[in-house]
Structure formats: C-alpha cells, structure tokens
Chains A and B, each alone.
Chain A
Amino acid sequence: MKDILNIGDFLKIIRIISATIQENSGYLSELDSTIGDGDHGITIARGFKKAVEKLDETDPQNISELLKSTGNTLIYTMGGAAGPIFGSIFTEMAKVADGKEEIDLTALYEMFSSALDKVSRLGGAKPGDKTLIDTLYPAIESLKDSVKNNLSIKEALRQMSSAAEKGAASTKDMVATKGKARYLAERSLGYQDAGATTMYLIIKAFYEAI
C-alpha cells in the first residue's frame, strides 16, 4: 500500500483536478448563478486550464515548485474572489512542502491545515458561513483522524473525500455571510455553495489520482 506521494502523484492530481473542473464547469456556474453571479465555473475552469498549461511549459522539478506554480497561475489568471482564495490554497501547501521530495500522510495533513488557516484569514470565513471552508474543515478533521489511526494514504484520501462531499452538501442548509451571496442572507438557504463544491471536486481529485 502506497504511503507517500511524489512529484508524479502531484502532477497527476493537478491534471485530474483540472479535468474534473472542466467537466463540471457548467454545473458550478449554475450553482453560482442561483446565489452568486453565475461565473464561478467559467472562472475556475479557465484558471486550472492555464495552471496545467503552465506546468507543461515549465516542468517544475519539485513538489513545492509545482504547487506554487499552480497557485500563482490561479491567482494571476482567475480574478474575482476565487483567484486569491483557491490560488492561496496551493501556494500555502507549497510553503509546507518546501524542501520535501516525498509527502507522507502527516505532511499532507500539515499542508491542508496550513492552507485552511490561510484562506480563513484571507476571506474571514469560519465553518458555517457557507463557503469552501465548510468543505475544507471537515475534510481536514478526517485527515487528522487518519493520521492518528495510521491509515494508508489511499484510505485516508477516500475518507477525506467523503467528508468533503458531506461538507459541501451541508452548505445547502446554511445562510451565506461572505462573498456576494451574503447580500442574499436568508434567501441563500437551500442552495449548495459553488465554492464549497469546487473544493470538494479538488479533494475528490486527490483521492482519484492515487
């Protein structure tokens, strides 16, 4: 059973994220148009497409460089709130991965955990605010348990993906307090958050790649 991730794994992860996001771009925009402005799918699809193109072009030689390139491309090509938020997840992971040739489960947990801290600070959102944090937080809690229980990376990512899916679905019952959807307040109830859904697709891609 695989217990470390190398640069090849991360390259595969980013490619699968991009493919999944391209596939779901229409669905994500539709989610966004009910409570946002309807451009989330287009924007995030454009960002990941460029991120993969950049990786093909520059062929980064270590995990940190690969994640940093991905994050910066998202920040520099997406625009809107989603660019800095989703981009920072990857640039933050890159900082933790700096100097590491291989990532074990503990390091992966630290990377996600640091990314969560960063996006929480940037957007000022907490769990329950109907944002991607509602996906990321339970996913990382699951990852923390997996580290404690010494699970394989594959099994840890399976459980993490499942926690992320539940987290994204839980935003349906929440009232938005951040982003453009906050202007709807109570009327945002009943709709799944687009950013939380994208975060789930990203985590699912980690699982599917391994």
Chain B
Amino acid sequence: MKKLINNPENIVNELIEGFVLTSKGKVKRIGSLNVVARADAPVKGKVGIVIGGGAGHEPLFLEYIGKGMADVEVHGQIFAAPTPNIILEAIKAADGGSGVILLYNNYAGDVLNFDMAQDMARDKGIKVDTVRVNDEISSAPLERAYDRRGTTSDHIIIKIAGAASESGLPFDSVIKLLKKTIYNSRSLGVSLSPCSLPETGKPTFVLEEGKMEFGMGLHGEDGIKRVDLMSADKTAETILDLLIKDLPYKKGDEVITIVNGYGSTTRMEMFIVARRIHSYLNDKGISIYASEVGEFCTSQEMAGISITLIKLDDEIKKYFDMPADSPGYVKV
C-alpha cells in the first residue's frame, strides 16, 4: 500500500505537528507529548473532558477539541491505545478544578491504559471518572453490550459532553447524560476493502473481489457476515434493520443519523446511502432531526461506510443544538 509518509516511526508526531500548525491557534500541544488541548485549557470551573485512543482514525479523536467539544486529546500510536503516563498529563491539562471525565472507546487496550491513568490522577487528588463508548452492535450480543466496542457515534457523544460541560452542568449530571446518549446510540458498518498498517504497509485482512463484510472492526477485526457486494440501498436497509431491532428504535422516535466513510469511500457513495436512510426511516415513522454525512472516524484507506442512529430526547437535543467549534467539527 502506498502512503505519503516520512520515517514510519515519526508518523504520529508529524501528524500532530501538522494539525497544530494548521489549526489557527485554536489548539496547543502539551510539551512535546502526543497530547493536544484547546488553546484556553484548562477552563476554570468547567468539568474537563479528555478524549483519546489509537492514532490512524483521524479526524477521531484529535480534531474534536475546542469550545463546545473536548478539552484535551491524547493520541496513541497507530491503532494502539496511549500510555498511562501520557494520559495522566492530558488529565492534568484538562483539570479546571471541577473534575475530569475520560471519554473513549471500549477497547481492551484503552481500558487498561486509561484505568491506570485514572488511578494515578486520583492518587494526585484529581477527581476523575470514566465513560466508555460502546455503540457497535456486531461486536457482542445485546446481553453483553458492555463488551461492545466504540465506533462512529463518537463525535456526537463528544459534542454532547462539550456542550453540557460548557453550560456548567455538574460532574455527575454530565456522566449521566453521556451514558444515556451512548445507550441511545447504535452503529454498524460494512467494509469493501481492507485497511493497512502504515508501519508494515500490509493490509490487516483480505477481502476478496466482489465481497463485502458487515461488522468489520476499525482495526481490521473480522466482521460478522461476509456476503456478495450488495447495492447501496440494500446495504442501508440491511444495516438499518439490525440497528432498529437492537435498541429498538420505534415509530415516533426522533434520531440523528450519521453516514460515516471509513477512509476511501467517496462522498458520492455516502450520499447515495444517506438518501436510502431517509426514505427507509420515513417509511418506519422514525423522524430525522439531523443528518451527518462525512468522515468522522476512519480506518486508514479502508473502504466502506457505517451508519449510526442516535435517539434524541429534549435534554440530548438541547446540548446537540448548542454551538461547537473544533477543527474537525463545527456547529453554529
């Protein structure tokens, strides 16, 4: 696989350098660490939001820091969780005196490292707690939802966390709101071609010509079902049926829909899928409050899309409607 990089060992450092240089002073780097904060962090009196995870999924999580979004991001190596000592520095950088919430995806590596960092921060007297995103429905059955991994609802969850903490919502209420929003979020994707690791240049899995796979992980973990390539409409329907059944989403519900491209999917394809989502949900009596189409969480050059549904209530809607200003997500 061809990629425009320099020394593979410097990928993460160089991508962060580029990101900070091009973000118009809105973000700052903490020392020379792979930790980036909104320019005015820590914000005094505000509950701090720390996000992070392995690199290689940009814009996730790196580009979602700013006013109305997260305060600090900690970037691991490619597809590998960041280390506890670095996460601790991110927690310190986010601590405005009202506690810090660690918001990240539910993967074994992230859990181990963030938990260690949480213990270290608590030993230093910082109030810290954790909320994990687990929206991907194919990674474990409903009764083991706590084992599910986090994927493409992230930027909206972060947006809600940012708006709620910016509005002065207290620590415990922010946590409760985030858990509710995550519970209301379900995602499932389909892959058409694999991602590769920049360090090795090799694809992490093989997908034969003419095949597609549902539930493929963001790191090339095998999915649940490998089938012959379907049309955009049939693909959208298959995913929506599984998502709708999982929560379940019901007639009269109001949702945010996300069509996420995994890295090398064209916007042309995304809009064709989005079109069918609209007509299909309309037929089911589920109303769409907002639709997002784009690359929010990628996996290198993996081709494919994921669909996310987030069920709204008045509280979630209120925070979704507030402004957000991060390099990767803006809402006016």
Chain A positions within 8 Å of B, measured between CB atoms, are 29, 33, 35-39, 42-43, 75-85, 122-123, 178-184, 187
Contact = CB atoms under 8 A, between A and B. Distances in A.
Ranked nearest first, the 5 interchain pairs of A and B with the lowest CB-CB distance are A37-B219, A80-B80, A81-B109, A80-B109, A84-B112
B204 A83 contact: no
B202 interface: yes
B222 A75 contact: no
B81 A80 contact: yes
A184 B217 CA distance: 10
Most buried by A among B79, B80, B202: B80
A35 B77 CA distance: 19
B217 A180 contact: yes
A79 B139 contact: no
Interface stretch (B17-25, B82-90, B162-170, B286-294): B82-90
Interface string B179-203: 0000000000000000001011010
Contact of B79 (A39, A123, A179, A182): A39
Nearest to B216: A183
B14 interface: no
Contacts of A39: 77-80, 197, 199
Interface string B108-152: 110011001000000000000000000000011000000101000
Nearest to B139: A183
A187 B226 CA distance: 13
Interface of B: 54, 76-86, 107-109, 112-113, 116, 139-140, 147, 149, 197, 199-200, 202, 204-205, 217, 219-222
Given A38-B202, A75-B83, A75-B116, A80 B54 contact: yes
B95 to A, nearest CB: 21
Contacts of A85: 112
B218 to A, nearest CB: 9
A71 to B, nearest CB: 12
B83 A38 contact: no
Contacts of B116: 75, 84
